[in-house]
Amino acid sequence: MTSLVDEFRAAARQAGATADDGDLAAAGEYLLARWSEPQRHYHTVAHLSAVLDVVESHAELAPHPERVRLAAWLHDAVYDPRALGDANERDSAEFAEGLLTTLGVPAGTAAEVARLVGLTAGHATEADDPDGELLCDADLAVLAGDDAAYASYTAAIRREYAHVPDDAFRDGRAQVLEALLELPSIYRLDPLRAAWEERARANLVRELEVLRPA
């Protein structure tokens, strides 16, 4: 956990935070506590770490990797499985801008991180947005996992939505998968698309066949 807090502190500093190290560390610890809330089964510290690992491995693809790192930290800072629509993403974006401003990150940078966080609602980016593309690709990396990893992911998602009856869950989950499959490409950045696109689409199609059998 300490290394993650150090990573948050470094990213915040690179983004222009003026708060002292103690306040930055406290903010990192607070975020980790949020990522450890009991209602989370997939959107956990493990997911945060996985997204950060992808961002770090491909940081050269983004003009502002420190903003992408902060957006990774904050993209699920608010997570309530009972929330409707994109409320979690909108609330996380608002929270991100407020927290970063409090830590002394320049207003324009804080707003840009909030914009990146908001992109994770639908994972649809505009042209010429490599920062957004890297964040969205990293967030969706799990879709390209092997059979065991993908099964673990879908099981964790179902646990988060244990309050939803089976029929309603299957319908809602199928809509999410169909929306992803309708994207021109699940992954936007060329190296990640080449590595992950085919596997991710196969995983989504297979899950959709289970959710909506012919």
**Residue of 53, 197, 207, 64 lying closest to 139 (CA atoms):** 53
User: In 10 A of CB 108, how many CB atoms?
Assistant: 9
- 24: Cβ contacts below 8 Å, ≥ 6 apart: 8, 9, 12, 13, 17, 103
Lowest mean pLDDT among 25-34, 154-163, 181-190: 181-190
pLDDT tens, 102-127? Answer: 999 999 999 999 999 999 998 888 88
pLDDT tens, 68-96? Answer: 999 999 999 999 999 999 999 999 999 99
- 89: Cβ contacts below 8 Å, ≥ 6 apart: 75, 117, 118, 120, 121
**Residue of 26, 24, 27, 22 lying closest to 10 (CA atoms):** 24
pLDDT bucket at 2, cuts 50 / 70 / 90: low
Distance between CA atoms of residues 134 and 119, nearest Å? 11
More confident residue, 102 or 214: 102
Say if pTM beats, i.e. exceeds, 0.85. Answer: yes
Does the pLDDT of residue 98 top 90, yes or no?
yes
Provide mean pLDDT across the span 164-175.
96
Please, what sign has the CA dihedral across residues 18, 22, 24, 27? negative
